[in-house]
Amino acid sequence: MQISVIIPTFNEAKTIYEIIRRVQAENVADEILVVDDGSTDGTRQVMESLNDKDTVRMILHERNQGKGAAIRTGIQQAKGDVIIIQDADLEYNPRDYRALLQPIEDGIADVVYGSRFLGAPRRPVMFWHMVANQLLTLMTNILYNTILTDMETGYKVFKREVVRDLRLRAKRFDFEPEFTAKILKRKTRLFEVPITFNPRDYDEGKKIGLKDAFAAVWALLKYRFVD
């Protein structure tokens, strides 16, 4: 399998070099696509020294559109058979790639979610953020008759064919519920595996907020009944 790693990025000058180094160290990715979503903090300047057409490709949004828009751009440009979504903020560790890819390699899954709540090591912070994640996951399970443990996870791995004709519209963090709703409605084979998690707090640059939780609720309800 050819593996594409998509890294949606907005104002991550402090971490972008390190996350690319970690991805490359796993020797799994055939291509790394960094989609810079209108950064203004020097992220692009850091990336200029890393942009290599054979391994790392930098794709630029002239203005900030949101994480979902950056992921959709990456999907359109990706060449791999399997796509891994990788956040740029070091919360998720590329050392989990092999575990995430295993169900696909074994032929038992088309989509794999990395769950932060299946018992792997994690940093114990952000209690209310965890509660919000679990409530959104519970809502997903009720609406779509499933037993996910972590709908909002940033680690989503999937065969390219899964999204070939999937109409994705999300621009911000509503990508997670939209993608989840649409693959569940299609009865796509989905597996979860435990992943390590090292969350940063808002003082360290975390961007998702309360309004994104309300947007996720609306997306889950909307896509339950419409495409």
Provide the residue ranges of all domains of the chain, joining segments of one domain with +: 3-125+151-172+189-201
Backbone phi and psi for residue 74, each to the nearest 5 degrees, phi listed first: -60, -40
3-class state of residue 210 by DSSP? helix
Predicted pLDDT at 57: 92
Backbone phi and psi for residue 204, each to the nearest 5 degrees, phi listed first: -95, 0
Helix ranges (DSSP H) in 145-200: 160-163, 175-185
Of the chain, the end-to-end C-alpha distance in Å amounts to 30
Confidence (pTM):
0.93
Predicted pLDDT at 127: 87
Helix ranges (DSSP H) in the chain: 16-25, 43-48, 67-77, 97-105, 127-144, 160-163, 175-185, 210-225
H or E element, residue 7: strand 3-9
Predicted pLDDT at 206: 66
For strand 82-85 and strand 111-115, is the pairing parallel, antiparallel, or unpaired? unpaired
Nearest Cα to Cα of residue 155 among 201, 89, 80, 69: 89
Pair of tokens at residue 91: 């919360």
Please report, for residues 25, 41, 158, 182, 224, the alpha-carbon distance to residue 186 in angstroms, rounded to integers and kept in the order given.
35, 40, 14, 6, 11
Predicted pLDDT at 48: 79
Please report, for residues 15, 101, 115, the alpha-carbon distance to residue 104 in angstroms, rounded to integers and kept in the order given.
29, 5, 16
Q: Which fold has domain 3-125+151-172+189-201?
A: Spore Coat Polysaccharide Biosynthesis Protein SpsA; Chain A (3.90.550)
pLDDT under 70 in the chain at which residues?
51-54, 202-207
